[in-house]
Amino acid sequence: MPQLDTSTWFTTIVSMILTLFIIFQLKISKHHFPMSPELKPLSTSKTNIPWEEKWTKIYLPLLLPLQ
Supply the pTM of this predicted model.
0.44
* pLDDT tens for each residue of 21-50: 999 999 998 888 777 767 777 666 666 666
According to the model, what pLDDT value does residue 17 have? 98
Between CA 12 and CA 21, with CA 27 as vertex, the angle to 5 degrees is: 25
Q: Is the pLDDT of residue 2 over 80?
A: no
Q: What is the pLDDT of residue 13?
A: 96
Half-sphere exposure of 33 (CA within 13 A, CB side): 5
